[in-house]
């Protein structure tokens, strides 16, 4: 074979991998940027008991924003069953920053919340008498979304989805490398994969940082508490913690060897470890008042622990 002729096998394989990575990146970009609120609610059966000569009962219900965007103008409507009177209503919120307005009628109760951020929840306890039926119907809605009672397969699956995309692409690259057994091709495909992922990270950053303009990061940190998701691949709050920031780079709450102090470098927030190295680097998104990891390879969270996509969301707005 003429040594000057093109290596069509390598060209075709490289083109196929480029297409695969582009498709995976597009899916990643679409799912990660198309953020929306998602209200999940549940009502539990009423429990009744006797209080002297009166039959009373208690019933609880919960709602939670399991989406990835704040829900505005959340309205919860309870319709009270016939022959039942509500004696008391208790509303417990997951954050003291959540405000509510309650409107009570003879046979209905409406509670309105101006906003529920992602992962925020509310628990309702109703004490009633003159009957055991309790609530006959509940409806939950917000601006542009209706509440639901059944969990979807996609709930809490964003980290798994991202991991799956990475796994599929990685597996394809590995199989082709093993099959072709060419070190030059292995290096080329590996570089291609990481280059594509870097492009997606940069696209996300451009979308999230629109409207930042004149943002004072230090002021934001000193006047708010945040919840840091330090291992977002694990659903829920199990791998998260509250962070509170003080003057002079002090971490007042959530401090450990990894998140030992903080500093502002240009447009980035850097969490510095106990040895003085950057453990995590974040950029700020004014769109939802949250911080997102840059996924830079020089940070300890990537270099030492291989954990990507850390983020921080506001926990409560209190002055320091």
Give the separation between CA 292 and CA 115, rounded to whole angstroms.
22
Q: What is the residue extent of each domain of the chain?
A: 1-34+164-199, 39-146, 213-320
Nearest C-alpha neighbor of 300 from the set 266, 268, 271:
271
Residue in this structure with the two tokens 């291992």, named with its chain if needed: 231
Up-side HSE of residue 185: CA atoms within 13 Å toward CB?
Answer: 22
Number of other CB atoms surrounding residue 118 within 10 Å = 19
Q: What is the mean pLDDT of residues 272-282?
A: 96
The pLDDT-based confidence of 310 (bands split at 50, 70, 90) is very high
| CATH number at 39-146 | 2.60.40.1170
Number of other CB atoms surrounding residue 84 within 10 Å = 20
What is the structure's pLDDT at 44?
Answer: 77
Q: What is the pLDDT of residues 234-250, one digit of tens each?
A: 878 889 999 999 999 99
Q: Are 134 and 59 in contact (CB under 8 A)?
A: yes
Q: Is pLDDT at 210 greater than 90 in this prediction?
A: no
Same topology, domains 39-146 and 213-320? Answer is no
DSSP-derived secondary structure for 139-204? EEEETTEE-BSS--TTTT-HHHHHHHHHHHHHHHHHHHHHHH--HHHHHHHHHHHHHHHHHHHHHH
Residue in this structure with the two tokens 């906003």, named with its chain if needed: 115
Q: Is pLDDT at 263 greater than 90 in this prediction?
A: yes
Copy the structure tokens of residue 195.
């280059």
Give the range with max mean pLDDT: 52-66, 220-234, 245-259.
245-259
Sign of the four-CA dihedral 244, 258, 156, 42: negative
What is the structure's pLDDT at 119?
Answer: 85
Nearest C-alpha neighbor of 84 from the set 109, 62, 63:
109
What is the structure's pLDDT at 218?
Answer: 94
Q: Is pLDDT at 261 greater than 80 in this prediction?
A: yes
Number of other CB atoms surrounding residue 299 within 10 Å = 23
| Chain centre distance of CA 205 | 16
Among residues of the chain, what percentage have pLDDT more than 70? 68
| CATH number at 213-320 | 2.40.128
The pLDDT-based confidence of 158 (bands split at 50, 70, 90) is very low
Nearest C-alpha neighbor of 290 from the set 273, 319, 269, 265:
269
Q: What is the pLDDT of residues 97-150, one digit of tens each?
A: 899 999 988 788 999 999 999 888 898 888 877 555 567 788 999 998 999 886
Q: Any bridge partners for residue 65, and if so which?
A: 39
Give the separation between CA 308 and CA 297, rounded to whole angstroms.
10
Among residues of the chain, what percentage have pLDDT more than 90? 34
The pLDDT-based confidence of 15 (bands split at 50, 70, 90) is low
Give the separation between CA 227 and CA 254, rounded to whole angstroms.
9
What does pTM read for this prediction? 0.45
Residue 209, helix vs strand vs coil? coil
| Chain centre distance of CA 189 | 31
What is the structure's pLDDT at 205?
Answer: 79
Give the separation between CA 163 and CA 170, rounded to whole angstroms.
10
Give the separation between CA 204 and CA 198, rounded to whole angstroms.
10
Sign of the four-CA dihedral 252, 257, 258, 260: positive
Q: Are 306 and 233 in contact (CB under 8 A)?
A: no
Give the separation between CA 290 and CA 285, rounded to whole angstroms.
5
């Amino acid at each position: 074979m003429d040594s000057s002729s093109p290596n069509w096998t390598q060209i075709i394989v490289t083109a196929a991998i480029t297409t695969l990575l582009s498709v995976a990146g597009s899916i990643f970009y679409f799912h990660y940027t198309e953020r929306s609120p998602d209200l999940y609610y549940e009502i539990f059966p009423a429990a009744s008991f006797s209080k002297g000569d009166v039959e009373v009962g208690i019933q609880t219900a919960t709602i939670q924003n399991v989406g990835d965007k704040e829900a505005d103008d959340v309205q919860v409507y309870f319709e009270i069953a016939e022959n039942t009177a509500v004696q008391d209503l208790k509303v417990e919120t997951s954050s003291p920053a959540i405000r509510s307005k309650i409107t009570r009628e003879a046979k209905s109760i409406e509670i309105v919340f101006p906003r529920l951020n992602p992962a925020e929840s509310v628990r309702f306890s109703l004490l009633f008498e003159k009957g055991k039926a309790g609530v006959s119907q509940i409806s939950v809605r917000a601006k542009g979304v209706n509440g639901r009672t059944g969990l979807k397969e996609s709930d809490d699956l964003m980290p798994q989805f991202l991991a799956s995309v990475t796994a599929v692409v990685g597996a394809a690259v590995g199989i082709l490398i093993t099959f072709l057994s060419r070190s030059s091709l292995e290096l080329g495909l590996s570089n291609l994969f990481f280059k594509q992922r870097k492009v997606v990270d940069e696209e996300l950053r451009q979308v999230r940082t629109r409207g930042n303009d004149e943002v004072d990061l230090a002021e934001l940190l000193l006047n708010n508490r945040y919840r840091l998701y330090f291992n977002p691949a694990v659903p829920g709050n199990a791998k998260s913690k509250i962070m509170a920031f003080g003057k002079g780079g002090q971490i007042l709450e959530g401090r450990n060897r990894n998140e030992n102090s903080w500093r502002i470098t240009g447009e980035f927030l850097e969490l510095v470890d106990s040895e003085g190295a950057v453990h995590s680097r974040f950029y700020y998104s004014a769109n939802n008042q949250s911080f997102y990891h840059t996924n830079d390879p020089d940070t300890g969270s990537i270099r030492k622990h291989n954990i990507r996509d850390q983020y921080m969301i506001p926990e409560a707005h209190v002055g320091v």
